[in-house]
Structure 1
Amino acid sequence: MAGDRDLHFEVVFDLARKKRTQVSELNEYILSAVEAEIIEAYEGGRTNSSESFIVHMEKPENILTSQIVDGRVFFEENPAHKWSAFPMAMDEMGNVWSLPIAHTLIWGMTGSGKSSPLQSAIIQAIPYVEAGEALLFGSDLKETELLPWDYSTLFEDIAFTADDSMELISMLYEKLLERNKMKRAWLNFGGDGQKADLQRRLPATKQTPMMIFVIDELLSLLLELFQRGAEGKAAMATLAKIMALGRAVGFYVIAATQNVKQEFLGAMRDNFVNVVVLRNAATPNMNDMMLGEGSIERGFDPRKIEESTEANNYKTSGIGYVKGETGDPNLVRFAYSDDDYVSSFVLAHPDEQKMATLQSGQLEQMLAAEVNEGDDINEKLDQLSPIERNDFLEALEVFNLSDREDDGNFTLEELNNQ
């Protein structure tokens, strides 16, 4: 635990066949017995057989809002020692939180700090790119978060238009099918003293590097594809196939999107193993859909995160809840990588041809410029006619894992036979 352990410490009670509510009532007794300032339930220490409390002998400082997590320091102290987990944030107890590598959705309103988790994932992937064990691809229709990386050799390709994104999605799917065939050839059922290897999940190696597809403003991309008719809808279906098959063969989508209505993200939620929910103004149902049923009632409420502004020194930027395959949400603050730090990676791996087109200092000016958020995605959605709106919702159903076999869309068996 961070801080002075004599002043801030954890107390754990064995439930001993008692109801959790009975043990929870002990907090007032503990408060008076040790003359503590504050006592609070600690979700992170709770197990099926125990209840955990944090006791504060004096009013604690909120370590998440007390200072920005400096990316330069954080990533030097917490490199990604294994390809399957990227350290990216600090939790309320001062512990490092790592992103399990899988499809990840980053969701929050403008100004909530979506760039921090997005850039953190890229930076932690760089050593694997340098070693030939990862390949980065991107789509950024607003030309903001990924634009500086286009001037480096770290990304294989970044699409800045819907047409280029369609080509990139098609190319990635072809590579996925090739790798799926390779995976079948590597199956080993053991016997004769050999250990079986059923290729359930391919490791990141030079032969099978991680294929990480970073998408900024996912829903904006999908709307642009939808508005391109049959060709665009085909690209949406192909992206859904990549997400359905990708994890087993080392293909991962890390996508960010603005605060949007539940009806548009609902069909896609099950595709993402990890969700990062930053400050938003959505309904409790929307937040529960992202973080798990009843999360708001249990206190995991991103709507209560204070607005981050220049006036308060951006004290809550990059703070949000993270949720993986299991367990309760966890409140963390993502490391912030400033313009100089991002530039250092670009300048260390320059695309000489593209760099030659820049005037002196133009890269720094590009990074320092105010981010152009562009049109709000909700405004674009509101401009759709009722028929277009329904058609778009139907197009998004291609991502709905739960309905896939019933509604006539592709099944995993059909995908594997392609």
Structure 2
Amino acid sequence: MGWEFRRSAPSDNVMVPATSDPFESPKWAPPVWHMPPALVLIVNLVRGLVGLAAFCARHPVAVGVAGVLGSLTYLAGWRLLVWLAGLLAFVLCGWAWCFWPSFVRLVARPVRARWRYLAVYRRNWRPVMVMSGLAFYRNAREYLPTILRVEVTKTTDRVLVKMLSGHAPSIWQDHVENLAHGFGSTTCRVRTAKRPRRRVWRRGLSGQDWPGHLWLEFVRQDALRRPLAGLLDAGHPVNLTALHVGMREDSLPWRVCLLGTHLLVAGATGSGKGSVLWSLVRAMVPAMRAGLVQVWGIDPKRMELAFGRGIFNRYSDDTGGGMVELLEAAVAEMSKRAARFGGVTRTFIPTVADPFIVVMVDELAFLTAYCPDRDLRRRALAALSTLTSQGRSVGLCVVGALQDPRKDVINIRNLFPTRIALRLDEAEQVDMVLGDGAYERGALADQISPLPEIGAGVGYVRLEDSPDPVRVRAEWVSDAEIAQMADYLTAEAA
């Protein structure tokens, strides 16, 4: 019978039966050395002191405040501490009463972000990472991604994460549903991270992609679940590079640039394309009244823009050739400006003599694909191609709306630098409008509700500073507001 050494005492090795094989050689195990209790106490004490020093180094402000308050309490008693707490509460209440925006930005949101970090993300981080498959095990060790910062808005949380070596954002994109349910949010989106200024030691790296880091955007509640209403603001100058159109999912204003670009709005029937068009018009009305902007309207359907035809400087819904003639008139104006500005300036600045012209076309597909007259289709496509390829530098902008973004319907969609995807019928159409990979990055335009009160005007856009799509909603403009805009403009003309 074979024997092996088993550890039964700190200094004894005992021969015990190992297996039933009589020819197996005995196995020997080294003796176990037990650390003396006094040495264990010293080691634990040193580890505790090192952890305390590390905590103080990471949180110097909190440790300093706690030390000062503790010293004051010891020297002057608890009444001084209560008096200081009351004074602090009075100052904070006064700050919130008089300067609420700054109080929210500097106090309320940082405190709420810290609370969400401790109560939600740090508390549930390990189980969610393990169950989502984003943790890694090697040699009996567990490796987890690290939370670096948490930022909160009214409706969303943004968590900055340092990924494990070898991770890529696409891996996290495959687990967004696990992350959303794990942290109790309705939606989770993966966003690229940019280098912050305070962490850049080399000039020129600020604002560039930050390898190994990403933002997780958790939506706590849908800020766009209800229709948005706006008002005509005639008291502020119009910024053609940031026209207020609606609101983003993170409760920030949604602003659209028209100066130096062209805009394409794609959406199925009832998706709210009219809300985007009329919101743009409403934002430009003060500049139209001042003569700095002109809006030319084309409406083959004779239903959307025709209601406010008195607002437009030029308007046509004549399917027999009037709409094409208006487009060719815009091309002629573009050629005149190019002849006058050539060699003089490369930057267009709107003036009363040379206003910024917006050619707004509803149902753009009628002119490019559905018009029964082949000659009119050819002329319209030639005029639109010329305007979208050459009109930006001389102050002409084309804003087109259509239902079907396929190439056989509009083969010049790549000439529109700015594009908006409202509710679409198919997932493939999202990439047609916003570019390849937009659907994988979270632009789920085919899943927008068809109910008008929920999904009208809701869509996705790509901002200039990020390739990630952002969910937005345009404000709804009523018939009474359109009539008010017409009266506002005609009263000035009279």
1:304 counterpart residue number: 447
Matches within 5 A, 1:137-286: 137-150=296-309, 152=310, 154-162=311-319, 163-187=321-345, 199=346, 201-223=347-369, 225=371, 227-230=372-375, 232-259=377-404, 261-265=406-410, 267-282=411-426, 284-286=427-429
1:8-407 correspondence runs (5 A): 8=152, 9-14=157-162, 19-21=167-169, 24=172, 36-38=183-185, 41-43=188-190, 46-47=193-194, 48-49=209-210, 50-54=213-217, 60-65=220-225, 67-72=226-231, 76=233, 81-101=238-258, 102-150=261-309, 152=310, 154-162=311-319, 163-187=321-345, 199=346, 201-223=347-369, 225=371, 227-230=372-375, 232-259=377-404, 261-265=406-410, 267-282=411-426, 284-309=427-452, 314-323=453-462, 327-350=467-490
* Cα separation, 1, equivalents of 2:190 and 2:170: 16
Contact 1:71 1:338 in 2 (8 A): no
In 2, the alpha carbon distance for the partners of 1:126 and 1:352 equals 11
* Structure 1: distance between partners of 2:462 and 2:370: 29
TM-score of the pair, normalised by structure 2: 0.58
Q: Distance in 2 between matches of 1:78 and 1:327?
A: 34
Q: Is the 8 A contact 1:80 1:86 kept in 2?
A: no
Partner Cα separation in structure 1 for residue 235 and residue 255 of structure 2: 10
1:295/1:229 CA distance change after superposition, 3 Å: closer
- Answer yes or no: is the 8 Å Cα contact 1:318–1:334 preserved in 2: yes
- 1:385 is aligned to none
Aligned counterparts of 1:323 and 1:268: Cα–Cα separation in 2: 19
Change (3 A) 1:348 1:270: same
Over 3 Å counting, the alpha-carbon distance change for 1:22 and 1:121 in structure 2 is: closer
How many Å separate the matches in 2 of 1:244 and 1:347? 35
What whole-Å deviation, never above 9, does each CA across 1:50-90 have from its counterpart, x for those lacking one?
Answer: 3112457xxx321111x211122xx5499664222212121
* Offset, 1:271: 1.2
Percent identity over the alignment?
Answer: 22
1:180 Cα deviation from its structure 2 partner: 0.3
Counterparts in 2 of 1:44 and 1:93: CA distance versus 1, 3 Å: farther
State which structure, 1 or 2, has the greater radius of gyration over its C-alpha atoms. 2
Query: 1:115 offset after TM fit, Å?
Result: 0.7
Higher relative contact order (CA 8 A, sep 6+): 1
Whole-Å separation in 1 of the counterparts to 2:380 and 2:456: 34
Q: CA deviation at 1:244?
A: 1.0
Unaligned 5+ segments in structure 1 are 188-198, 354-418
Stretch of structure 1 that moved more, 324-333 or 161-170: 324-333
Separation of aligned partners in 1, 2:422 and 2:314? 28
Deviations 1:84-128 (A, max 9, x none): 221212111101121121211111111111111011111111111
The structure-2 alpha-carbon separation of the partners of 1:235 and 1:260, relative to structure 1 and needing over 3 Å to count, comes to closer
Answer yes or no: is the 8 Å Cα contact 1:277–1:322 preserved in 2. yes
Corresponding pairs, count: 323
**Structure 1's 345 and 179: CA in aligned 2 closer, same or farther, altered over 3 A?**
same
Q: Deviations over 1:257-300 (max 9, x none)?
A: 123544323x2221111111111113x33321211212222321
Residues 140, 112 of structure 1: CA spacing in aligned structure 2 closer, same or farther, 3 A cutoff? same
- Normalising by structure 1, what TM-score? 0.68
Structure 2 residue aligned with 1:359 = none
- Matched AA of 2:324: M
Which amino acid in the other structure matches residue 478 of structure 2?
D
Q: Deviations over 1:233-269 (max 9, x none)?
A: 233212211111001111000011123544323x222
Q: Quote the Cα distance in structure 2 between the aligned partners of 1:53 and 1:292.
A: 22
* 1:315 aligned counterpart, secondary structure: helix
